[in-house]
Structure 1
Amino acid sequence: MKKFIGISILVLLAGFSEVNAQSTASKVGTDVKDGAVKVGNKTAEVASNGKSAVIDKVYKDMEGPNGETIYIDKHSKYYWIDKKGHKVSIAKNKLIAKK
């Protein structure tokens, strides 16, 4: 009887550790995915900023609402680059003078 109880407890513990290992693997997979998304967004932002700095003019006297660098394209439109590398248009009256 003692062997039966001992074996059943051992089986239960082994079952719990397997479930815990699966949840840990799932969490690691989610962390890796989140990290990859962050790296991709930062790469897109840096690439867009580099392209804009070469192709378009930088508006040196003004900045965006949160201190962003403002670019002027060939159609005289003002924009800045967000955290995901997208161009965000902005009206001239919403620009802030640099200090």
Structure 2
Amino acid sequence: MKNMFKVALLATGLFAAVQANAQTVGQDLKSAGKSVGKAGKKVGHITARTASKGAAAVSDKRYEGHYGPGGEKIYINDKSKYFYVNSKGKRVYVTKAQMTTTKPM
């Protein structure tokens, strides 16, 4: 009877230790998944920005000597609208009043 009690106590202790270790491993995997997701999103934004800037440079005209609010290059599309490409690769249309002639430092 005493041996059976010892075996049951040992099995319970091992089970608790394995469960605690499994929870920390699960949390580590979850945080690693978030890191991979953030990195993937960042790479996606960089790719979109590069593709948009390349497409704008080919199909649209660069408005020399004028810059966006953050120092971005200004382009003119075929409908005479002014825009710059933001950090996520989206076109942000601006008015002449929002543009500057000097590049901010």
TM-score higher than 0.5? yes
> Post-superposition shift, 1:56?
0.7
The one of 55, 60, 63 equivalent to 2:59 is 55
Query: Whole-Å Cα distance in 2 between the matches of residues 4 and 24 of structure 1?
Result: 30
Match for 2:22 among 18, 23, 26? 18
Normalised to the residue count of structure 1, the TM-score between the two structures is 0.89
Partner residue of 1:69 out of 66, 73, 80: 73
SS of the equivalent of 2:31 reads helix
Task: Give me the identity figure in percent.
Answer: 32
Q: Structure 1 residue 13: deviation in Å?
A: 1.3
2:38 aligned residue (5, 13, 34): 34
Counterpart amino acid of residue 40 in structure 1 = G
Q: Work out the CA distance in 1 between the residues paired with 2:55 and 2:32.
A: 35
Q: TM-score, normalised by structure 2?
A: 0.85
Structure 1, unpaired ranges of 5+: none
